[in-house]
Each structure stands twice: as structure tokens, then as C-alpha cells.
DNA sequence: ATCTTTTAATTAAACATTTTAAGGACGCTC
DNA sequence: GAGCGTCCTTAAAATGTTTAATTAAAAGAT
């Protein structure tokens, strides 16, 4: 590698001051068009690389935005991230991604790193058990934060997520409408707002239909395909012999269906199953999954938009912004018939 | 937010020089233990945040490592990324992630951004059609680069990936051993080294078994679950009536199996299907997928390790490092029986 | 006591950019 | 030709660290 090319290199070779070069490269109207073109040409010719750290040291703007979620490999977050990415790309921001795997430590480390790098803002789906002071860490140090997918009690940061209670009630009502009375709920946790809301939505729907809520029909825990698969055994041996299952998400539903099939029953016919999120996989699973569209792309887009607006100076309203889920009916649910 | 706390703030409140503070926080032996403790305590008390951009301006070390792959939502890359992440975490590096979606533009933009941020190194799975000069962009500017999952003709950058030709021949041989003679190959592209190697492995295995290679049995293209699903129609209508399919990867295989099931046939029994990669999903698909373990985690770990070693000064050997794939036999393959 | 060594802390010069205030040149008007 | 405005460019300060070179003080050796 040859000598490092910097502003002053360009300035010298052109017999001009670094100030002019800087202004020209930023397209300032303070510098004449001809000069600007000459400078840009020279920069290209020399292979100049803009030093953002030096610049941001001066401007205290880094163009970096952090995003931290539970697990980027989970397609649910994947779809959110994709939307965030395309929104940020448009405004020339770089984004730094991290999983926290629900470790409060890991999440804090990430936020601290981001602060050290001079991040302009952060979008987070807070880890289970995040203490209030961690929620404020970013804002306290002048880095705007937006919540996504999960909300956090005691925090009034702007939040974008689906209306979980409403969404799960859609799925539950759909099954009730098909004649099912013994409906299990598979997966999820009470430790997140999402988890509590979804369970509540399920309970509400049953109550409204005057079906007794049986806590034994709840199998909490699973949140992955593997989890759903493993839960099938437990599910099939429930004494209440449920004929339908409302699943935490599509992954759990697909896993559960595979588990049911492995046990020799036919998912969608013998047992009705609903998912949640409407991932790409849902429409091509076997059978195609009846699920609830949860607007991940919308959620991601809005969150990114909100952050960018905030960075641009507008102070958008705090509070929780809920996306209304919608039912997607496919082949994994069918009218009630008793389990043999 | 109060006044920004910097080294000098700590120094002043303690009546000491900033140099001492800097040294103390970096645990330099040049400063006395007692002083160091006092300084660290004060830093904590004031809520000091280390300014990495200022530091890296001076040291030209940022602690940032970039990783760019085709699509982080693809579980194949996901598993590689997870391994890289855990390796980098250990050495207090921050990593910046990006998809290139096989866009050379997007890939170049990313590398340029990384250079601007003063990235210490980059791990890349190069986009299809990456020109040689782009491959060198990083190295030319003093940023070490390592290739992962894909190699690139004409580049002698250190590369870590699975032995694709060997791996796919394992799968093909397995099917031949079960008595299949008409074996299709579904998915992939000739535009990557991986694609060419895998097709070659398939061809070699057939030749060795003295089975004629029929180009009509190749359905190139699909690389996703959706793609595999859609390819099922084409596959089932092939005039050669293949009884088995070697798939580009697990996603294609699972999609294909779902498509086959949708058409009323039983995957694993009527049609044998092999995957590639041995993703988590493979063991819980329906039927459980016979596939080839491709060592993603190993590949990611080794690549990260190699980069870190290089940053630490050791110059590890260039060239391609191949991981030997292994067969994972499950239920999606069974002895040959003619298609009705 | 003096000289040398060790230890501890400081000074001051980088690092590469941005930006404000100011200056110079030029053309125009009266 | 003095005064004025416009357009372009520059000088210089500022951003928050690190670190080589230096000094100051204390400890050890003779």
C-alpha cells in the first residue's frame, strides 16, 4: 500500500487549501463549480478514501445506526431487519447489527460499543429483563433510541410492533369458528410484553366464546422450529385431547406440524394448527400454514423512518404504535372432528 | 444530557494529566496501581464514554471488522455468521454485517464504507461477478481480507470453504448405492465456484458409476426454499421420470419435498431427496432430510481465527482451505423403486 | 554524599477532518 | 478612483485520543 491519501494530499497536488477540498467534496456552494470538478476528479484519480472517523470527530455525526434484536437468524427478525436495511440504505447510513440472545449483558455491551463509535441512533428489540437504566443508556448519552417488535414496561421510548393480543385472537376465533373447543396454545413466554399479550388474546377469545380456559392446554416455552417439533409429543399426549393448536409463531407451528406428521397423524386434517408472523416459509410448508400476518416489514420500515426523522430534527410522538395483524387462511386448519 | 465527559474532564477533576488518565484506562504498567484505581473509579462515577473515533484517529485501529455475505437471512450464512460472531466477540472486536445480494455495487459500497470507518479487516463471501480490482480493494488500502464459503478465480486471498465437489459426490453416491439411476440435480448456478464445483461433483459421481449424464436432468436456478418448492412441478414433469434428486442445499430440498407432497407423492418414499449443508431444519423436516454436513460453523470459526491471527501479525498461508463434508443419512432417501 | 537506576507523571506533537471568520480579487456604480 | 457587493478561497481553531520524549522524584549503590 502506497502513501495514505488525505485531503491535504489532494490540496497539495492541486496547489490549493484543504478547506477548499473539504468543501468541494461535500458539494458546498461556497466553492466554484470548475474547482469542485477538478478536485473531485483528482480525488478519484488518487484513490482518496474519506476518513469518517476524523470527520465525525469534528462533526459528532458518524452515520452509524445500531440495531440489536434477539436473534438475526430468526426469520421474524430477519424480515424486520431487511426492511430497516433498505430504509437506512436510502439515506446513506451504515448499520451495525447485533444479537443479544436475551442477554442483558450482551445488549449493554453493544449499546456501549455503539456509543463509543459515536452511533447516531439505535433501534432495539429489548432483551428480556432489561433494567430501566439500560433502556435509558442510549438516550442519556444523546443517542436516540427506538423500540421494535417488543415494548418495555416503564419505558416511554417510541415503539413499533404488531398488536399481539388482537392478532392471536384472530387466530383463536378462526379455530373456534371451525368448531374447535379444545384449543391448545403452544410456545411463548410470559417474560416479554409480546408473550403476555398473546396469551391474553387467546384467553380473551376463548372467554368471549364462553369456552372454559384450561391452563393445562398451555405449553409455554417453544419459540423455534426445533421447539415446536419437540413439543408435539407433549401436545399429543395431553389428556384433554385438543383438536387444534394456536402456535407462538410460524416456526413453532411448522415444527409442531412436522412432529405431528412424524407421529403418524395428518396436520391440518387431524389437528388444526395456526402460526403467527406469516413468514415466507408459511405459504410453502406442508400443509400450507394458516397464520396471522404481523407486518414485520411494515414495523421495520416505520421504526427506521421514525429514527431517521428524529435524527433530521423532527420530534415524532413517543408511545406505542401498533400494526393491525391480519388473518391468512390456508390449509393447516380445517373444521372440527374428534380425535380418535 | 449533561456536558460530554472526556479524558480531560477526568484529568481535571483529579488534578492530573490526560496522558496519565489515558494510560491508566488502558491498564498501562507506566502508571501506579493506586492512581489507576482512582482514575477508573472516577471514570465510572462520571459516566465516561471512551471515544473510539478519536482513539482510532490516532492509532489507526478501529476494532471494527466487516462481514459481507450474500444474504444474512439465509440460514447457511447465518450459521457461518454465528461462528464468526462468537470468535470475534472473544477478542473485543465489533463486527459490521452486510448483505450484498450478489450486487457488485452494494458489495463495493460496503467495502468503501468499511475503509472509511477504518475497518481492521473484512471477511467476505464475494458477490457473483466481483471484478478482480474489487477483490483487491480492501487489501490495497491496507485492510486484510479473508474469503469464506465461496472462492474467487484469480484471487489468492486466504479462503475457507467446504469441499463442494467431494460433498456433492457423497450425496450422489449415496443415491446410486440405493439403486437410483435417474438422478436429477436441482438448483444452483454456474456463476459461483460453489455452483460449478457441485455440478462437477455430481457429474463425476455419475460417470464413475457409468451412468450417462443427461443435461436434461439438471434444473439450475433455485437456491431458496421457495425456489425448490416451485421447481417441484418442473421436476415431476421431466420426461426422464427421475426417482431421486440431489438438491443444491437443504432449503431447496425442503421446498422440493413440500412441492412433491403438494402434488400427492410421498417424498422420501416415492422420490428420494438429498439436501446440502445440514441446517438445523434438516433434522426436523418431514421426512427428516438426508443431507451433507458442510461445516459452516467450522468454516466461520476458521475464517475469523485466520483474520484475527493476521491482525495480530502472524502471516498465515494464503490459498484455499477446504473442509471435508460428511454424509448425514436420514429418512428422505430410500431404495430405488420405479415411478408409476 | 554522590551517582545511577527505577518509577511515576507530564508535555507536546501528532492523527484527518470541518467550519467560522476573515481576506483578496474582481467588477460595478457613481 | 473610492466605495461596495459578490464570489471564491484560506487561515486557524477545534474535535478527543495516544505516545515518544522528557522531567521529577524516589530508591539503591558505592
Q: pLDDT digits over A122-147, tens only?
A: 999 999 999 999 999 999 999 999 99
The pLDDT tens digits of the residues spanning A46-83 come to 999 999 999 999 999 999 999 999 999 899 999 999 99
How far A54 CA lies from chain B's nearest CA (Å)?
Answer: 6
Cβ of residue A55 lies below 7 Å from strand D: no
Residues B121 and B283: their CA atoms lie apart, in Å, by 35
pLDDT at B108: 96
Query: How crowded is residue B28: how many other Cβ atoms within 10 Å of its Cβ?
Result: 12
pLDDT at A338: 84
Contact call for residues A244 and A175 (beta carbons, < 8 A): yes
Which of B33, B306, B37 minimizes the C-alpha distance to B160? B306
Grade residue A2 by pLDDT with cuts at 50, 70 and 90. Answer: low
CB contact under 8 Å between B117 and A281, yes or no, is no
pLDDT at B154: 83
Which of B188, B332, B183 minimizes the C-alpha distance to B246? B183
**Three-state secondary structure call for residue B245:** strand
Cβ of residue A26 lies below 7 Å from strand C: yes
Residues A271 and A334: their CA atoms lie apart, in Å, by 8
Is the per-residue pLDDT at B340 higher than 70? Answer: no
CA B32 / C1′ C1 distance in Å:
30
Pick the range with the lowest mean pLDDT from A87-96, A328-337, B164-173.
A87-96
Q: Which residues of B touch A57 (CB under 8 A)?
A: 51, 53-54, 57
The pLDDT tens digits of the residues spanning A256-283 come to 999 999 999 999 999 999 999 999 989 9
Cβ of residue A60 lies below 7 Å from strand C: no
Protein contacts on strand D: list nucleotides below 7 Å from a Cβ.
7-12, 14-20
CA B204 / C1′ C29 distance in Å:
89
Nearest Cα residue in chain A from B256: A284
| Helix (H) / strand (E) containing A167 | helix A164-177
Joined together, the cell numbers standing for residue A308 give 431517521
Please list, in sequence order, all residues whose beta carbon lies within 8 angstroms of the beta carbon of residue A57, skipping any fewer than 6 positions away: B51, B53, B54, B57
In the 8-state DSSP scheme, what is residue A289? P
> Which nucleotide's C1' is closest to A6 (Cα)?
C16
Contact call for residues B267 and B236 (beta carbons, < 8 A): no
CA A39 / C1′ C15 distance in Å:
23
Mean pLDDT of the A76-93 span: 93
Contact call for residues B257 and B267 (beta carbons, < 8 A): yes
Provide the whole-model pTM.
0.91
**Three-state secondary structure call for residue A188:** coil
CB contact under 8 Å between B1 and A140, yes or no, is yes
Cβ of residue B62 lies below 7 Å from strand C: no
Mean pLDDT of the A96-115 span: 95
Q: Give the distance, in angstroms, between the CA of residue A288 and the centroid of all CA atoms in the same chain.
A: 24
Residues A105 and A306: their CA atoms lie apart, in Å, by 27
Grade residue B262 by pLDDT with cuts at 50, 70 and 90. Answer: very high
Mean pLDDT of the A168-194 span: 95
Q: Which residues of B touch A136 (CB under 8 A)?
A: none
* Cell 458539494, located at residue: A27
Beta-bridge partner residues of A244:
A183, A272
Parallel, antiparallel, or unpaired for β B64-69 and B121-124? parallel
Query: How crowded is residue A195: how many other Cβ atoms within 10 Å of its Cβ?
Result: 19
Grade residue A1 by pLDDT with cuts at 50, 70 and 90. Answer: very low
Is the per-residue pLDDT at B39 higher than 80? Answer: yes
The pLDDT tens digits of the residues spanning B225-243 come to 999 999 999 999 999 999 9
pLDDT at B3: 67
Cβ of residue B54 lies below 7 Å from strand D: yes
Joined together, the cell numbers standing for residue B242 give 427421475
CB contact under 8 Å between B57 and A62, yes or no, is no
pLDDT at B298: 96
Is the per-residue pLDDT at B286 higher than 90? Answer: no
pLDDT at A340: 67
Half-sphere exposure at residue B210, Cβ-oriented, CA atoms within 13 angstroms: 0
- Report the nearest residue to nucleotide D18, CA vs C1': B58
Mean pLDDT of the B35-41 span: 96
In this complex, which of B1, B99, B255 lies closest to A284 when CB atoms are compared? B255
Amino acid at each position: 500500500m502506497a502513501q495514505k491519501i488525505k485531503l491535504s494530499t489532494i490540496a497539495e497536488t492541486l496547489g490549493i487549501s484543504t478547506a477548499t477540498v473539504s468543501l468541494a467534496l461535500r458539494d458546498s456552494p461556497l466553492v466554484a463549480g470548475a474547482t469542485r470538478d477538478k478536485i473531485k476528479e483528482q480525488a478519484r484519480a488518487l484513490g482518496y478514501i474519506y476518513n469518517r472517523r476524523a470527520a465525525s470527530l469534528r462533526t459528532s455525526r458518524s452515520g452509524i445506526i445500531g440495531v440489536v434484536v434477539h436473534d438475526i437468524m430468526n426469520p421474524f427478525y430477519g424480515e424486520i431487519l431487511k426492511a430497516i436495511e433498505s430504509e437506512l440504505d436510502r439515506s446513506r447510513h451504515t448499520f451495525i447489527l447485533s444479537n443479544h440472545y436475551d442477554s442483558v449483558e450482551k445488549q449493554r455491551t453493544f449499546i456501549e460499543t455503539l456509543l463509543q463509535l459515536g452511533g447516531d441512533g439505535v433501534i432495539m428489540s429489548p432483551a428480556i429483563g432489561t433494567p430501566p437504566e439500560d433502556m435509558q443508556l442510549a438516550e442519556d448519552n444523546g443517542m436516540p433510541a427506538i423500540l421494535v417488535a417488543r415494548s418495555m414496561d416503564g419505558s416511554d421510548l417510541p415503539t413499533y410492533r404488531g398488536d399481539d393480543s388482537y392478532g392471536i385472537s384472530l387466530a383463536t376465533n378462526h379455530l373456534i369458528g371451525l368448531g374447535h373447543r379444545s384449543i391448545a396454545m403452544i410456545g411463548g413466554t410470559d417474560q416479554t410484553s409480546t408473550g403476555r399479550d398473546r396469551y391474553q388474546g387467546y384467553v380473551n377469545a376463548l372467554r368471549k366464546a364462553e369456552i372454559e380456559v384450561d391452563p393445562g392446554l398451555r405449553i409455554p416455552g417453544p419459540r423455534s422450529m426445533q421447539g415446536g417439533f419437540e413439543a408435539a409429543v407433549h401436545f399429543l399426549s395431553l389428556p384433554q385431547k385438543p383438536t387444534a393448536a394456536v402456535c407462538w409463531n410460524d416456526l413453532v407451528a411448522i415444527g409442531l406440524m412436522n412432529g405431528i406428521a412424524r407421529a403418524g397423524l395428518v396436520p391440518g386434517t387431524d389437528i388444526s394448527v395456526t402460526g403467527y408472523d406469516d413468514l415466507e416459509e408459511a405459504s410453502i410448508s406442508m400443509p400450507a400454514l394458516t397464520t396471522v400476518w404481523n407486518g414485520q416489514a411494515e414495523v421495520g420500515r416505520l421504526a427506521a423512518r421514525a429514527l431517521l426523522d428524529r435524527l433530521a430534527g423532527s420530534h415524532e410522538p413517543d408511545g406505542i404504535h401498533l400494526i393491525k395483524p391480519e388473518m391468512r387462511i390456508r390449509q393447516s386448519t380445517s373444521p372440527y372432528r374428534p380425535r380418535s
